C-alpha cells in the first residue's frame, strides 16, 4: 500500500501512521506517536505533513495510485474474462481492505477517511471508473463482451458493487468470497451470447 510513495521519509511516515492507526485507531494516534514510529522528531514530521488529516489524505492518494496501476495490469493481462475481472477486483481492494477488515481499528480508519478525505476517495474512485470504462469500451469494440449500457455506467456499477461487498463483509474471507461472486456475475452478464 505504501510502496509507491517516492520519498523515503514520506514512505516511513505513511507506514508509521498506518501502523499507529491500525493499532490504536485514528483518533488516538497522535502526531507524536507517528513521529516516534517513523524514527524522527515531531518538528521533522511537520516539515512533511501539517496534521493527521494530511497524512490520511496522502495514504489514500498513495493507495489509489498503486491500486489503479494494479487494476490496469489485471485487466490488460491474458486470460478469461472472469479471471481478469477477479484479479482487477482483488487488486482494487487489496492489502488496504484486508488490513481494514483484519485490524482492530481498521473500520475507524475507513470512517475517518470518508469524513476527512472524501474528495481524495472520490478522485481515486473516478480514476478506477475511467480505467474500467476504457477497458469495457475496448473489449466491446473487439466483440469480447456485450455491454447493455454505456461503459461508464457499467464501470460505476462495478464500483458500487465493490463498495457494497466491502461494507457488508465481516472479515477479509467474506470480502474475498463476495468479490469472487461479483467477478462471476459480471463476467456472465458481459459475455457475448
Its pTM stands at 0.87
Give the pLDDT of residue 171. Answer: 87
Give the pLDDT of residue 126. Answer: 97
Domain ranges of the chain: 60-190
The mean per-residue pLDDT over the stretch 45-69 comes to: 93
Q: What is the pLDDT of residues 66-88, one digit of tens each?
A: 999 999 999 999 999 999 999 99
Q: Which range (113-122, 136-145, 170-179) has the least confidence?
A: 113-122
Give the pLDDT of residue 2. Answer: 59
**Alpha-carbon distance 75 to 73, whole Å?**
6
**Alpha-carbon distance 192 to 187, whole Å?**
10
Which cell numbers hold the place of 41?
A: 522528531
Phi, psi (deg, nearest 5) at residue 96: -65, -45
- Tell which residue, 67, 47, 64, has the closest CA to residue 121: 64
**Alpha-carbon distance 82 to 188, whole Å?**
8
Which fold does the domain 60-190 belong to in CATH? Tetracycline Repressor; domain 2 (1.10.357)
Amino acid at each position: 500500500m505504501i510502496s509507491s510513495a517516492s520519498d523515503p521519509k514520506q514512505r516511513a511516515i505513511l507506514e508509521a501512521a498506518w501502523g499507529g492507526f491500525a493499532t490504536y485507531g485514528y483518533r488516538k494516534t497522535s502526531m507524536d506517536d507517528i513521529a516516534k514510529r517513523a524514527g524522527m522528531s515531531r518538528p521533522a514530521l511537520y516539515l512533511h505533513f501539517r496534521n493527521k488529516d494530511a497524512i490520511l489524505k496522502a495514504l489514500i492518494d498513495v493507495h489509489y495510485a498503486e491500486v489503479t496501476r494494479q487494476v490496469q495490469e489485471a485487466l490488460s493481462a491474458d486470460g478469461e474474462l472472469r479471471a481478469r475481472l477477479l484479479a482487477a477486483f482483488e487488486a482494487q481492494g487489496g492489502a488496504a481492505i484486508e488490513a481494514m477488515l483484519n485490524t482492530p481499528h481498521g473500520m475507524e480508519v475507513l470512517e475517518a477517511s470518508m469524513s476527512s478525505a472524501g474528495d481524495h476517495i472520490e478522485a481515486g474512485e473516478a480514476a478506477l471508473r475511467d480505467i474500467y470504462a476504457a477497458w469495457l469500451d475496448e473489449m466491446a469494440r473487439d466483440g469480447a463482451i456485450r455491454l447493455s449500457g454505456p461503459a461508464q455506467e457499467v464501470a460505476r456499477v462495478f464500483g458500487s458493487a465493490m463498495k457494497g461487498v466491502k461494507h457488508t463483509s465481516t472479515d477479509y474471507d467474506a470480502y474475498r468470497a463476495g468479490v469472487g461472486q461479483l467477478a462471476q456475475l459480471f463476467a456472465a452478464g458481459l459475455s457475448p451470447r
